[in-house]
Amino acid sequence: MTIPDSSGFHYMMENGSIELPCKPEEERRIVQELTAKAESNLREGNLYYVVSSRWFSAWQRYTGQIEGAYPFEAHPMESQSPIPSNTGDRPGLIDNSDIVVNGGDNKDDDPQLLRTLEEGRDYVLVPQEVWEKLSKWYKGGPVLPRKMISVGDQQKQFIVEVYPLCLRLIDSRDQSEVVIRLSKKASLHDLYVKVCNLKVLQPEKARIWDYFNKQKHSILISSNQTLEDCTLQMDQDILLEVPMDDFGMDSTGNGLALVPVEPVRSPFSIAGGPTMSNGNSTGYSSNINQRGTSTSTYGDMEDGYDGFKPVTRGDRGGLAGLQNLGNTCFMNSGLQCLVHTPDLVEYFLQDYSEEINRQNPLGMHGELALAFGELLRKLWSSGRTPVAPRAFKGKLARFAPQFSGYNQHDSQELLAFLLDGLHEDLNRVKRKPYFETKDSDGRPDEEVADEFWRYHKARNDSIIVDICQGQYKSTLVCPICDKISITFDPFMYLSLPLPSTATRSMTITVFYCDGSGLPMPFTVSVLKQGCCKDLKQALGIACCLRSDEYLLLAEVYEHRIYRYLENPSDPLATIKDDEHIVAYRLPKREADLTRVEICHRYQEIERKPFLTPLVTILEDPQSGADIDIAVSRVLSPLRRKAFITSTTHSSRENGSAANAIDEQMECSCTQLEPMIQSAEEMEPEGMSSKELSFRLCITDDKGYGCRPIAKDSPIKPGRVVKVMLDWTDKEHELYDSSYLKDLPEVHKSGILSKKTKQEAISLFSCLDAFLKEEPLGPDDMWYCPRCKEHRQASKKLDLWRLPDILVFHLKRFSYGRWLKNKLDTFVNFPIHNLDLSKYVKSKDASEGSHVYELYAISNHYGGLGGGHYSAYCKLIDDNKWYHFDDAHVSPVNESEIKTSAAYVLFYRRVKPTSSGTVGEPSDGHRVS
């Protein structure tokens, strides 16, 4: 066995290790088995290790594991094609220096990860058993262990806590600061133990305060309550106080005058009367005993609210920003849009206690609605003082663990969860009745729609349903039996595709494998998220494919067939715009035939490959003569004497097959000749009894190792025969090779495409794309009740009933298993007078106006895996727009709010005036 020369191997030898490295494929097998075992036994406390993606990718290449699988997932193609045993050099020492602060040079026993890392892109997580193997084989480091924790109350999830909670401990005796790192699942008792060990104190002599924003909020009493339940945030301060004994000395013997830090007084109280911002009296000693540790009341105390008494808007109400608690701009942006929704402001500033549904199993026991309501009250009552939404973030993490931690998330996903959660927490229906939906069966749409809406309202009745939920009509048609199914479903928001992302234009050159026509490029439009099956279907229609034919897709690279695209479920995203894709028309009975693949090369000039490869078929070829006949047949459309007309002459001068499209279109749709003919029928003109008409060679599977063939050369039986055709002066004289030159790219990127990309698209075109009829995806088949089979039905959506608050989500992000993308296309959306009348199919006049005006926008700037969120919101009271960028709030002109960063749009219905014209929003404020 050859031992690769690597630094890792030398390191092992220098340290006396006699164990030789495993073979690459053996390493891969061992690691995959250990990973599978660990993943089948997930539990809280399991150890995982952080490994740099840079080093791990090198190991993946070395062991033949497909790079991009995270961390050991099977690639979709893995089961269909063998993985190469070794595709790279053996990596050296494990090197995590690129993901730790200062490159790990600070000699810290506990090196810290950079805060900007993204899982999968910058690092991977491997189980303890895998790390031990990798460390044994490669050594290196630094070692970065992390524990698995359980998050969420209702939906338990296991996650690896990559970033433990960092707290700045301030010692009130000397104002010294030290960073303490603990799991957010650690208890307050654990915190006291760590602090007292660090400061050499007895636990009973220490008092630790939640000192967020350098203000006392609550004393943290040693208990089993977790740091997460106390809503402690990453990098916040905690304050250590050591009370003096009877002799005026602290527990260390130092005579320090201890002056307690008094909480900042709030100028108002929601409940009435002067109180502190934390809702307690000023007495220092009484605070210690009065401060409760109940999770359910912590948020109430922090925000200073008492009960559900109506609250009046404060001076400059609605202009308070939200502090960023560590990548929470996504949350702040979504929240500002909701708290500036007039109907919600009016609702939550009143007494809504009777509406809380604590028994709903689909809700959050009312806690999410309470947390949101308290936060809204604070924002509308605190003037312009920024608010730290700690209590709300704590509730959010408990009920939606996907938003826990300190990574950037999606504001639309947060809004979807929040609207649904608020609805369930405020659902007026305590016991939901059961209804069995009926098929429309030809009944009038109005009757079916009203029936569905009554059923929905009987189970769902809340302020969110009242103002945010509409209804659309969904029509499914079976492609086999034409069964039509119509349903009317509720919606909370509309996710609109951007037309430039919904479809994709692709140019493919189609070749006739029987020599019945010239190659011809076809440009088709397909779904961007479609698969090869969709491309073949569109091409088949464009080129008039016969029922007894099929298309074989292939990528041509450097004049050779680089790969065949034979798997119909392969995503089209794997085909890049600058690639050259061809399609060969073959008979469906090709499985019984031999495929002949013909490449071309210059005979005189270094025998380099040129032109486009051709593919034809033969039935059981026996000798070189059969191959010669096949080559002659497939080249026959290129014979010069067959196309001496003014039209084709001009097309040949341009050297492009595209110029012959008009002439060939008629030919392509005519009846084709039989593809298999005998040697006697197809013998080339002038062919002697001993010589072939072409200079041909048989090559190996990779296209190398040419072996010249003669007329009687035996042909080894096989599925595919690869042939190299040497072009001489004779071939150039007889055949016009221009038709095989210069394949078009799948999508030509140039001046025209760049101009198109910069052009704006309208909100209406996005809505048209959303409502367009299209077939369901292969993973979303519909069960046809008539066929009793799952069918790829066509689906058509129509708007039927519109809500007072209409939310549009612009689908700028696309996520796949391997690909992610964001589109910064500018969408031109109306600010005033968005008229949707033509889209609404219901003729019920009682539904009110279909005209809307904009009042809030959630914006996203930057790319994937990061970026920044902010919000534009309109203050209805003063009819002005403001920019809410976390804690910073500033006025903005209405002319400036239309940007390519617009992500979620909030509209409200405009009420008709008494004269019948549209002039007022639904809350009575006039449109400017």
Q: What DSSP string runs through 806-822? A: EEEEEE-EEE-SS-EEE
> Any idea what DSSP says for residue 23?
P
**Residue 593 token pair:** 């035939």
Residue 585, amino acid? R
Counting Cβ atoms within 10 Å, is residue 281 exposed (0-12), middle (13-18) or buried (19+)? exposed
483-486 LR contacts (CB < 8 Å, sep 24+): 483/784, 483/785, 483/786, 483/787, 485/439, 485/440, 485/782, 485/785, 486/440, 486/445, 486/448
Backbone angles phi, psi at 522, to 5 degrees: -125, 135
Q: How far apart are CA 492 and CA 811, in angstroms?
A: 15
* Distance (Å, whole) CA 696 – CA 721: 12
Q: Is the separation of the CB atoms in 184 and 87 below 8 Å?
A: no
Name the catalytic one among 196, 230, 329, 766. 329
Distance CA(834)–CA(852), nearest Å, equals 5
Its sign, for the CA torsion 773, 776, 782, 786, is: positive
Nearest Cα to Cα of residue 448 among 472, 426, 428, 481: 472
26: which residues sit within 8 A by CB, 6+ positions away? Answer: none
At residue 213, the 3 state secondary structure works out as helix
Active site (annotated) includes residue 365: no
Residue 285 identity:
S
Residue pair 430/362 in contact by the 8 Å Cβ criterion: no
The residue assigned the tokens 């990973």 is: 35
Helix H or strand E segment including 455 = helix 445-459
The answer to whether residues 725 and 599 touch, using CB atoms and an 8 Å cutoff, is yes
Name the DSSP letter for residue 49. Answer: E
The first and second tokens of residue 446, run together, are 């109005």
User: In what helix (H) or strand (E) does residue 191 lie, and over which residues does it extend?
Assistant: helix 188-199
Determine how many CB atoms are found less than 10 A away from the CB of residue 620: 10
Tokens for 150, please give them.
């359980």
Longest Cα–Cα distance in the chain: 123
- Can 787 be counted among the known catalytic residues? no
**CA–CA distance, 374 with 395 (Å, rounded to integer):** 12
Phi, psi values for residue 509, rounded to 5°: -95, 125
- Catalytic residue positions, numbered: 329, 868
